[in-house]
Each structure stands twice: as structure tokens, then as C-alpha cells.
Amino acid sequence: MNQTDSQDHDHRHLDQDLRTLRIYLPDLRLLAAKKASVTAHSSHAGLRTTAPIPLNEGAWNLLEDIEHFAWSLGRAAGVRQRHVPTEGLLAAATNRVDRLLARPDAPIIKRMAATLVQRMGRQFEPPEDHTLIGYCQQCGSELWCAQDDLESGWTVCPSCGRTLKVREVQQARILRLASCGTQGTAAGLSQLLKRCGIFVRRKTISEWKRRGIIKPVKEQDGYPVYLLWDIWRAFTR
């Protein structure tokens, strides 16, 4: 492949990846906006606020990564970004692909775009019988595990090849949520944990309460509400 063909190839692929991200971004928002009956608490200026935790946390994380990538592209492409939505930034970047490819960090831009498109595809069509347990601590790649991986306790990152302990990956993901004070009913937290490849039945959580292993922090519609971290500690005790 000569230099001209290589440039055409790079232009075509980056253009296609950016268009794909822009076209499917609204659908990704809908996917990420599904809410679980769990909440995250954070303090700001002395006030306590409550925000819903998305049921599809993987889609939510991807959405945030795409928005940050679009902001970076807009800056690299010289777009005045004030009040410009993510779709607008991606559209502007698509119209300035040549400018982006002329930058010293063009290989990083191409790789990031391709990676985000791949992650988006996995959200809409997850690998059959695989669960997103978390992210590689080395390179940040998504880790989709089959049941065999969950049972063996080990998995291999498809990007960097690092062998990782499933429980440590799951704990890092739980820590991220727990650091926000995530809490919910037994049913809500059971569902949230399931999406991390952690199977704790609602009845098990209720039994832990009965035995005094965990204590609810409040009630919601007549149901006890627990801290996610307390459930994780009971599960791993």
C-alpha cells in the first residue's frame, strides 16, 4: 500500500468511525438511561444530592467516554465548543478529518475512535453468554467474561493480554460505585450486582439482614435500603 492509498484508507476509516459514533449516540443514550432502583449520593457545597445509578452502567461509562472524546476532537479541530452538543462536535470533526490526520497524535485519535465504535457495538449486541465484569486495570479495556471465566476466577484482557483476577476486577467496579454512597433495596442491588457478574439473590440479602450481618440505612416505599458496600462486604466475608 503506497502513501496515497494509506492516507485514503485512514481518512475513510476515521470518517466512518466518527459518523458511526454520531449516528448511534442517541440510541446509546436511551440504552444508558434505563434506571435501577438504586441511588448514588454525593455532597456538593454542603448539600446532599441523590442521582439514579444507570442500570446499564457499561453504556453510561461509554457515553461519558464518547462525550470526552468528542470534546477533545473539537478542541483538536479548532471548533468553538461553547454550547455545542456532542453530536455537533463529532459532525465538525468528520468535516475536518484531514486536519485531524495531520496532527502528531493522529494514531491515538484513530485508535480511540475505532475502540469506541467497537465498545458501542458490544453494547448493542453484547457477546453471547458474556458479562461485563469491569475494566482492565492496565489498559482500561472492557472485560466481558463467559461463565467459565467467572467460575475459574481468572480472565485475560483481550487488548493487552494481561491475566486478571475476576474478583479484583469486580471489586474495583463496586468500589467505584460504592464511593458515591450507592444504595438500594435488596432487589435493586441484586440486579446491579448481576450486571457485574456477581450473583446475590434478593432473598440472600434479606437473610443477611435477619441474621444481623447487614443493617438497612433507611426505608423506601416500605422496603429496607442498604449500602452497596455493605452487601459486597457480606458477600466476600
Q: Which among 142, 146, 152, 149 is positioned nearest to 130, based on CA atoms?
A: 146
Tell me the pTM. Answer: 0.69
Sequence ranges of the domains in the chain: 3-33+55-125, 181-236
User: Where residue 1 falls among pLDDT bands split at 50, 70, 90?
Assistant: low
Beta strands 130-135; 223-227: pairing state:
unpaired
User: Where residue 138 falls among pLDDT bands split at 50, 70, 90?
Assistant: confident
Model confidence pLDDT, tens digit, residues 149-195 = 999 999 999 888 999 999 999 989 888 888 878 899 999 899 889 88
CA distance 17 to 183: 37
Residue 103 · residue 75 · CB < 8 Å = no
| DSSP codes of every residue in 47-83 | EEEEEEEES-HHHHHHHHHHHHHHHHHHHHTT---TT
User: Where residue 220 falls among pLDDT bands split at 50, 70, 90?
Assistant: confident
Please give the CATH number for the structural domain made up of 181-236. Answer: 1.10.10
Cell numbers linked to 187: 432487589
Cell numbers linked to 38: 438504586
Cβ atoms within 10 Å, residue 9: 11
